[in-house]
Structures are given as C-alpha cells and as structure tokens.
Amino acid sequence: MLKLFLPDDHVQTVLEVTPEFLKKKGIKGVITDLDNTLVAWDQPEATPEVIEWFTELRSAGIQVTIISNNTEDRVAFFSKPLDIPFISKARKPMQTAFNKAIKEMKLPKEEVVVVGDQLLTDVFGGNRSKLHTILVVPVVQTDGFFTRFNRKIERRILEYFKKKGKLHWED
C-alpha cells in the first residue's frame, strides 16, 4: 500500500522537469499541481521563471494541464492568462480529474506525467491512475489549513522511504 505514495522521480523544483528530461522518458503531456508546485499557495500569478517553463514545454510540443483542488476562481486567475487548460476542485487523490486531463490531452497514460508537491494528493492520485509521478519540494514551507494536516502524515511517509533507501533528498 505504501508504494502508492512513492514517486517515480523527485526534484527540487518544477523547473528541473525540462523538455529534455521528459522526452527521454517518452512524455508528451504534463499534469501539474498549482499551489506550492508552480508558485507559492498564496501567490496568484505565475513568476517569470514558471512562464518560461510553460513556454519551453509548449515549444517542445509537450501539453500541460493544471489540476488543483483549489477553487475555480483561484485556478482560472492563474491559468487563463497563460492559456493553460485546467481542472479546479479536482478532489485529488480521486482519479476523476487525472482521467479527464488525460482524455482532453488525447494521450496514452504512458506518455503523461504528474508533477506535484504532495504525496497524499498528487503522487498518490497519479500512482493510482497508473501515471509516472514526480514529487517536487514545495515552493514555500507554509501551507493552507488542510495541507498542513497532510504534511504531518507526509513527513512520516517520507521518513519511512528515506530509511528504506527509496528516497534521497534532504528537507
């Protein structure tokens, strides 16, 4: 059961998920979380670096969809100016939003990756959907109310994986 919380890869920042990295894995589509994955949970707009990341992916022919448990207003405010498709109120780790994003991208699951900062929503949901998963270090160390609860559980799971030698990053 715990293996469903183990990401396939882990990186410090979403910016390390480059077109070259993705193409080596045969990836043509990225499902990404928004809050604390792309920007701080309380930052409404994309940073210049994240805008450049989206541009590089798009130039390489890699599709991106943002799926977030946050409200439509929050996700739309971030996504619409960038012309990035999104799914709000995703109810991750439920598989519905992941499956909807894959269907809209018109890609097989083997060509899609999930990128996110939370084991209990992004990685667990992506793994349950049989997608490649990449865990990123949260952009900031503060979180919204519900996420703070999840982080306590995640710390225990991360410690378990570190002790077993399955995860090699420092907090």
Q: What is the CATH number of the domain that holds 156?
A: 3.40.50.1000
* pLDDT score, position 145: 60
* pLDDT score, position 21: 96
Does 168 reside within a domain? no
Report, as ranges of residue numbers, the positions in the chain whose pLDDT lies below 50: 171
* DSSP category for residue 121: I
Residues 6+ apart with CB under 8 A from 15: 49, 50, 53
d(CA 150, CA 145): 9
* pLDDT score, position 146: 64
Does 169 reside within a domain? no
Does 171 reside within a domain? no
Domain count, the chain: 1
Does 152 reside within a domain? yes
* pLDDT score, position 36: 93
Tell me which residue has tokens 């920007």: 39
- Sign of dihedral through CA atoms 82, 12, 125, 68? negative
Does 170 reside within a domain? no
* pLDDT score, position 143: 60
Residues 6+ apart with CB under 8 A from 6: 123, 127, 161, 166, 167
Q: What is the model's pTM? A: 0.87
* pLDDT score, position 171: 46
Residues 6+ apart with CB under 8 A from 131: 31, 98, 102, 109, 112, 113, 114
